[in-house]
Amino acid sequence: MTQSQTGPRDWAAVLYWGCLTALLLFIIIPVASIFFEIPGASVVSEATNSSTISAIRISLVTSTASLFVTMALGIPTARFLSRREIRGKGVIDTFLDLPIVLPPAVAGLALLLAFAPHSLIGKFLLHYGLILPGNIVAVVIAETFVAMPFFVRSARTAFEEINPKLEMAASVLSPSKFFSFRKVVLPLASRGLVAGCILAWGRAMGEFGATLLFAGNLPGITQTMPLAIYLDLEVNIYQASFVSAILIVISFAVIASTRWVAGRR
């Protein structure tokens, strides 16, 4: 009797643990393979390789810059969409989500056609001496283009989950809407915002296709870590593995630290 009652539960536990283990192994084995690929003796030489250092620097700078742009534009947008009912909201949502499903190559081509020197915007920028393709700014634009929707989605959900009556209470007490936003809305949405930052930053760090097509793969200028890995694969698998390992360590550290910060709130 007891066995027949606990039996199905045991099977469920086996199933859950089995799936979890399979998923973890599915991630851990490929990740570990990269670390096993790096010969110990070459670590120092790879670490001091100027093109590796430059790719790490460009990746960190551009993904961080992209995150700032994403937050600066994304927070007000998400806030606006979370509280206002506007005509054509569905169409706006579709456009905002489009880069999530758009193949990166298509995104890169679209950006290239929109910002290349012969395009309308490109001509305007050229007037001020700025040619985007082949420029680090193009890397930031490409990364922002693909990463923005992840942040806006997450931030919008975070804002929507705040009890609107709390904002009402704040408006009776505070003459400044910005004060209420800073002291009440932002802290209450912080978990969702942090999650959005992780997603957007991670997406920007891993950006490959759009950057390749729009900004190009110029070492020291537009070559980010994924682009460096792509180039290294043909000539030096160890260097590709080393850069990949660094990317993994940075990603892991950022996710772990932001989760820790969010969990402390």
Partner 1 sequence: MTSFGVQVEGVRKSLGGREVLHGVSFALESGKTGAIVGPSGSGKSTLLNVISGLLEADDGRVSIDGSVVGERANGVARVNVPPSQRNVGYVFQDYLLFPHMTVFENVAYGLRARHASDSTVRERVAASLEKVGLRELRDKKPPQISGGQMQRVALARAIVLEPKLLLLDEPLSALDRSTRESLRVELRRTFDELATTAVYVTHDLDEAFFLGQSVGILHSGELSFFESKSDMLGRMSRPTAEFLGFNLVRARLLGVNGSGAVLHIEGWDPVTVPLVYESAHRVGQDVVVAVPPESVKVSPEASGQGVRARIEELYEFKDSVQLVVGYGASRLVCQVPNLEFRQLSLKRGDPVKLALESALLLSDSN
Summarize as ranges the residues that interact with partner 1 (CB under 8 A): 163, 165-166, 168-176, 179-180, 183-184, 187-188, 265
Residue whose CB is less far from partner 1, 118 or 265: 265
Rounded to a whole number of angstroms, the minimum distance from the CB of residue 167 to partner 1 is 9
Contact 138, 110 (CB under 8 A): no
Q: Compare residues 127 and 264 and give the one whose CB is closer to partner 1.
A: 264
Nearer to partner 1, 180 or 241 (CB): 180
Q: Which of 47/168 has CB closer to partner 1?
A: 168
Taking the least distance from each CB to partner 1, the nearer of 36 and 178 is 178
Which amino acid, 33? S
Closest listed residue to residue 211, CA positions, set 238, 232, 230: 230
CB of 86 to partner 1, least distance (A): 18
| Shortest distance, position 180 Cβ to partner 1, whole Å | 7
Smallest gap from Cβ 183 to partner 1, in A, equals: 7
Q: How far is the CB of 84 from partner 1 (least distance, A)?
A: 17
Closer residue to partner 1 in complex, CB, 136/184: 184
Mapping DSSP onto H, E and C, the string for the chain reads CHHHHHHHHHHHHHHHHHHHHHHHHHHHHHHHHHHHHCCHHHHHHHHCCHHHHHHHHHHHHHHHHHHHHHHHHHHHHHHHHHHCCCCCHHHHHHHHHHHHHCCHHHHHHHHHHHHCCCCHHHHHHHHCCCCCCCCHHHHHHHHHHHHHHHHHHHHHHHHHCCCHHHHHHHHHHCCCHHHHHHHHHHHHHHHHHHHHHHHHHHHHHCCCHHHHHHCCCCCCCCCCHHHHHHHHHHHCHHHHHHHHHHHHHHHHHHHHHHHHHHHHC
For residue 158, the minimal CB distance to partner 1 (Å) is 13
Identity of the residue, 169 or 253, whose beta carbon is nearer to partner 1 in the bound complex: 169
Rounded to the nearest whole angstrom, what is the least distance from the CB of residue 153 to partner 1 in the complex?
23
